[in-house]
Amino acid sequence: MGKATGFIEIKREEAAERDPKKRLNDWKEYSAPFSDELMSRQGARCMDCGTPFCHIGTEINGATSGCPVYNLIPEWNDLVYRGKWKEALERLEKTNNFPEFTGRVCPAPCEGSCTVAISDPAVTIKNIERAIIDKGFENGWITPRIPAKRTGKTIAIVGSGPAGMASADQLNQAGHTITVFEKADRPGGLLMYGIPNMKLEKEVVERRIDLLRQEGIDFVTSTEVGKDITAEELKAKYDAVIVCTGAQKQRDLPLQGREAEGVHFAMDYLTASTKSLLGTKLEEGEWIDAEGKDVIVIGGGDTGADCIATALRQNCNSIVQFGKHPQLPLARTEDNAWPEFPKVFSVDYAHKEAEAKFGEDPRQYSIQTKKFVKDENGKLKELHTVQMKKVTDESGMFVYEEVPGTEKVWPAQLVLIAIGFEGPEQPVLQQFGVDTDNRKVKAVYGEFSTNVEGVFAAGDARRGQSLIVWAINEGREVARQVDHYLMGSSSLPSVAAM
Ligand SMILES: Cc1cc2nc3c(=O)[nH]c(=O)nc-3n(C[C@H](O)[C@H](O)[C@H](O)COP(=O)(O)OP(=O)(O)OC[C@H]3O[C@@H](n4cnc5c(N)ncnc54)[C@H](O)[C@@H]3O)c2cc1C
Ligand code: SF4
């Protein structure tokens, strides 16, 4: 249980970050190395409360609370406190296929529901998770696990993001023969092209994919299902198919002037940046450069923050992030009680970096874009906005209305639209003939089967744009269902069945 009095004696300490001013000069991860001793001390704060909401992931009021893969958090906190790192790794690997991803970029809903957090700062669960898996790789404890027997059953997985990778890993360990089709030139989904290198170094993603390859999984890249190979061909050739195509159809802002040169989708910008960073710029597309430009990111979420960090490293002249909503409160409000995910103000890595470079937080709240304005050459030159306020209408509903006299003109040569996603790309789903619900694949959680015999769906394609840890959960769960479908029973683990 950690140290019996640890939560009283020891203060929360997080792993340090590199100096924001210095890290802007490179594309390496922003986190700094941390010691075993720090992690052991932090593990001692876990009080093994007996009601560990931290390890039971669920959704409360539309947000995740607790760990969706049911990580055995109190157990490995204790093992790390006692210096038993290898045992901690064994426990961690029982529930999470890729802790090196979640330990770096998960928003840690486990910490929001940690019992210590009722009165004090939560246990640093995410840092401890990362420390365990990083130590596992450093010490050579993680080696390829090649299945002893093959069942002769074949499975095609469409999409190589965390959902596709997790289902491939589970089903491969069950002895099936797995082929993962990926339309991009590199596997990894949003882990590879989406989340920037500063948050998750691409060597970390490639290390895991190499391991999966050594274990027998075939990744077929630059192959778009629906174009390069048809859905019919996959259904005919494989015993089962899993659709893990993500939810990457970007939401647009079709305002006057949208066609101006210099207005881009966030994902196009982030993808081009990572491709260029990985050294294939000339072959694979345009590098959208922010150097010397006044940059505006429209959208107050994490994707927007990743755009800020990227533009800062490209040496932009200025940076602003527009959010539709007001600034969040500094502490939980009455309608956001523990163990819900805390909806409170926080300063992301990108915001710290913008402040270090320009002296202020780049965020503007309750703001709405009215139009884009271009110059005589069709290039973006400015953006017009108005402030909004939340009011209650006659039926008692909250609505936003413009505040008269708050119109403003912002000079801008680059605008990045990061206002969310509309769901999965539809053509491939239509080719499979799967039913959709609000654009997402219709497949009930826990069953994951679609209306088409032998075709399953998981991850963002099924639940909409979400989190890596949910993608891993769904990858594991769909694997068990597919194994059951092919073999009549399954010994793969499941939290849905608990
Ligand atoms: C910019 C950004 C930053 C994010 N940061 C975080 C974060 O810090 N923490 C977090 O927990 N979550 C984050 N998320 C969300 C998280 O990345 C996703 O929820 C997760 O990656 C979903 O996994 P997935 O496997 O379902 O889909 P994806 O990761 O989207 O992978 C789907 C894959 O399918 C491929 N594909 C699609 N159609 C086809 C086809 N027809 N044929 C072949 N391949 C196809 C795509 O190319 C893609 O590689 C972020 C999302 C974005 C956009
Ligand atoms: S995967 Fe996320 S929610 Fe689960 S223990 Fe790790 S940081 Fe917490």
pLDDT in tens, 96-133: 999 999 999 999 999 999 999 999 999 999 999 999 99
Mean pLDDT computed over every residue of the chain:
95
Using CA positions, which residue lies closest to atom 8 of ligand 1?
105
Cβ–ligand 1 distance for 429 under 6 Å, the answer: no
pLDDT at 280 over 90: no
Cβ–ligand 2 distance for 71 under 6 Å, the answer: yes
Instruction: Tally Cβ neighbours within 10 Å of residue 397.
Output: 8
Give pLDDT, residue 281: 60
**Range of lowest pLDDT (13-17, 43-47, 282-286, 309-313):** 282-286
The kind and range of the H/E element at 111 are helix 109-112
Q: What three-state secondary structure class fits 12? A: coil
Domains of the chain with bracketed CATH: 6-138 (1.10.1060.10), 154-248+422-487 (3.50.50.60), 252-419 (3.50.50.60)
What is the C-alpha to C-alpha distance for residues 338 and 324, in angstroms, rounded to an integer?
26
Task: Give residue 10's pLDDT band: very low, low, confident or very high (50, 70, 90).
Answer: very high
Q: What is the mean pLDDT of residues 276-301?
A: 85
Cβ–ligand 2 distance for 67 under 6 Å, the answer: yes
Q: What ligand has the least distance to the C-alpha of 266?
A: 1
DSSP 458-475: -THHHH-S--HHHHHHHH
**Residue 222 burial by Cβ neighbours in a 10 Å radius (0-12, 13-18, 19+):** exposed
Task: Give residue 283's pLDDT band: very low, low, confident or very high (50, 70, 90).
Answer: low
Q: Which residues pair with 297 in a beta bridge?
A: 321, 416
Cβ–ligand 1 distance for 224 under 6 Å, the answer: yes
Which regions of 92-158 does DSSP assign to beta strands (E)?
Answer: 154-158
pLDDT in tens, 39-89: 999 999 998 898 889 999 999 999 999 999 999 999 999 999 999 999 999
Q: What ligand has the least distance to the C-alpha of 167?
A: 1
- CA dist 3 → 9, 48, 90, 165, 220 (Å): 9, 10, 21, 37, 48
**Ligand 1, closest atom to CA 248?**
30
